Structure 1
């Protein structure tokens, strides 16, 4: 578990929504003033003010100089008095599906950086799918628990109803790909899962693989469907078939992947490569293949998705798709701040670039494959 998650997991998640950043954040700010920041960044005070209130109007180069000055001086804007006058809480609620997932640790660090920079505190609540109602969401705002909400995770913590439009809710932004169609109407920041899985499948095809299996999660998941269609489109474009027994569900877990691996190995025409919809399943697949007497990548190539922190430590190191997790968190916070300021719901998906990370778990197929020892 990352340091950020270890710190956050020690927070008490109850209805009072305590701040993970500390209730007295403003008391720890340095003696630096906004004038000091402006002088250090070689910009006007007005530009620094615009950086905090209208970041979209500040050039990237200028924004980076101001950000560096803020960090060097330890400056934090004191927005408590202003928030009180405007009826705001100065708190952002982050709803996390699985707080122990290392993927979310890096995303949370990006969210926290922007939130603190803009004078907001972060409160974190772990949720089960469907655990919050529309009324709960509105109560969060009317009872002044939070000014806006960032949802992390594959499932929706709430269900939308016909008599509750998106505009009736507090400002909500979805961070990362979602498995739940309930979250699709909300603004999202994510990688293009279809495009990424298409690219990694094309990479395997380029190595010479023609029999490529796909390990997915639960059917009906929006996230998994995007990744699966990316795999299928790459196979179709190359004129390659997708056999029914080349598709297996690993439930996005290492344990589920072990069962799915046995299914793929027993296919009538065994795949020479497996595309896993996440790294966790790739880890499970590699472990099960080793137990069954297969060598990765000499006998079967395995690739993943997410580039979690253990991917490079696997034996062999895992070829996978990297997501800019901290950047996803930062951009999600900026979208939320815009929605809160404009008092109107943003819409649509903002895609961030992914990266194909080539390691040692994939290679060209050998001409002769050993029979499975199952």
Structure 2
């Protein structure tokens, strides 16, 4: 991927957040979404001083959902042209892809053309649930090794359409009990399943960056943080964990919600960011959504998300990237991305992406 002046865009693994505004360079590139080789250095630029902005499609509160205007907006790409200019990475969820447009190569080609200035990320749920069908049949988690056939099939479909995924975010593999709230999935097995995922995906996408999505707090096993354990095992196997996206809706620290791992506060959220960036030395991404707003309305969701970014920064938080990742009934539309007075139907997700960029120091 290149910038408008022909220089390679350096998507570094560590980026310092600056609250001060800055200009965003426009990107120009080929009609495919392609990966910058992992770890590639940019000889003409230092580390980026602004956080990345990622956009993830809303699943509308169910695993295979997609926004009602998802397909139609690609017939009017001007309706979200401004949002695309600040969108470093476009991400789609595996469930949404499987349920709505898997294998639709002509539509994927249209997406590739519209998003040609962005990286492409895939949110994968198969790692935490690959064994579920066999468990339903036998009552036991199979010995494995797992076969990530759905992920590999989807990657090949993307490639056929000219989309080369740059990033894969593995959903909740260190935390979710598993399908049906099943709890008998030991940590050793979870971590080995992630290593096996790298074994199977890397030959297909050698340069892809793979990370995890996780709520993080107090995930310790015998004195070792689960994320450190995973990082160590991946390094033993010759791989690198590229990032962790912290997954706590903003209503949790705002209400100081008390869960199994204790009270969630803004200070605790900031501590997770510091742990990932300083102790693990990898990219920290902050998932940006709000459950209360997402269940009640477009404008309340917008208000709570933007306030959440503000609170995180005010409490000293620094993120290398912000991922706008709703998973509730609102926002219920994605376009247009216009700023200005809120329309009667309320804020769209693309509008909030632009506003999120301003809140995070992007102008």
TM-score of the two chains, using structure 1 as the length reference: 0.27
Q: Which has the larger radius of gyration?
A: 1
Q: Which has the higher helix share?
A: 1
TM-score of the two chains, using structure 2 as the length reference: 0.28
